[in-house]
Amino acid sequence: MTIVETIQCSHCGAPIEFKPGEIIATCKYCGYTQAIETGQVFTFEHSVLMNKYDPVQVEEPIREWMRGGFLKPGDLARKSKITEKDLVYLPFWVVSVEAKSTYKGVFERVAPAVVKDGSVEKEYDWLVLARKASDFPTREYNVPLEGKVPYDFRKIEGFAKVLNSEVDQDQAVEMAKQQIEDHHRFLAQEDIDKIIEIKTDYTVKQVVYLHAPVWFVKFEYKHEAYSLLLDGATGTVIKGDIPSSGF
Ligand SMILES: [Zn+2]
């Protein structure tokens, strides 16, 4: 059983439910977003991406995904039974940042090996999932950020679930920095074979709290259960299990 606690919304007084571990909550009656512990006003931009589908329409992009691609069984779209379709607004932090890494390393592809310097400089809208226990494939999700609008609770479908954040903005920025440096390490290794040192400077431009609509779908095909994640803003399948074609 999941323990659910409540606080009172600082804006409208309605009860806001939250679960252990959640630290930022959005009131479903007025859309006000606040820190659970302090009830403090949330000072960051809170955005949402709009979902385009209702539970019936969403079957269309799912079937379309099933029909496409030669790796899938030919009868997948026809023979699959969609058993679950849940729309969840997942919380993310979008950290807009310029990152420049300078590194020193050993280039071993020549003899004798040489020490080389180099740098990687890039701009990102880096996405950090604001939930801790989740295997959501953040890196495979191309968030259609251009579609984001200010969060409006009246536009959230009654059948949808809005998840609260378990990560605060400072933690999110730290996570983004860590992940970006790991990514730059990976990029540096195209240039050098062994990194001696790497240092990254960041200029954080903007931090946005974002709820993005993701459909959690389960389907059955030949008595086996499979799942897929679909971006409700674009209809793109973020990740989907592909049953074996049986070859
Ligand atoms: Zn409220």
- What is the whole-number distance in angstroms between the Cα of residue 27 and the centre of ligand 1? 5
Tell me what pLDDT residue 245 has.
74
Query: Would you state the pLDDT for residue 247?
Result: 53
pLDDT at 206: 92
155 C-alpha to ligand 1 centroid (Å): 15
The alpha carbon of 12 and the centre of ligand 1 are apart by a number of angstroms equal to 4
Query: What is the model's pLDDT at position 1?
Result: 58
**Ligand 1 centre from 224 Cα, in Å?**
43
How far apart (Å, rounded) are the C-alpha atoms in residues 213 and 91?
9
Mean pLDDT by 10 residues, the chain (247 residues): 82 91 90 83 85 97 92 92 97 96 93 93 94 82 88 94 93 96 95 95 95 97 96 95 79
CB-based contacts of 193: which residues, under 8 Å, 6+ apart?
Answer: 105, 106, 107, 108, 109, 113
Cα-to-centroid distance, 209 and ligand 1 (Å): 18
Tell me how far the alpha carbon of residue 29 lies from the centroid of ligand 1, in angstroms. Answer: 5
Q: How distant is the alpha carbon of residue 170 from its chain centre?
A: 17
First to last CA, the chain: 43
**231 CA to middle of ligand 1, Å?**
27
- Model pLDDT, residue 207: 93
CA of 31 to the centre of ligand 1 (A): 6
Q: For 155, list phi and psi in degrees, rounded to 5.
A: -95, -5
CA–centroid distance, 16 to ligand 1, in Å, is: 8
28 CA → ligand 1 middle, Å: 7
Distance 18 CA to ligand 1 centre (A): 13
Cα distance between residue 236 and residue 135, in whole Å: 18
Centre of ligand 1 from the C-alpha of residue 160, in Å: 18
C-alpha 41 to ligand 1 mean position (Å): 12
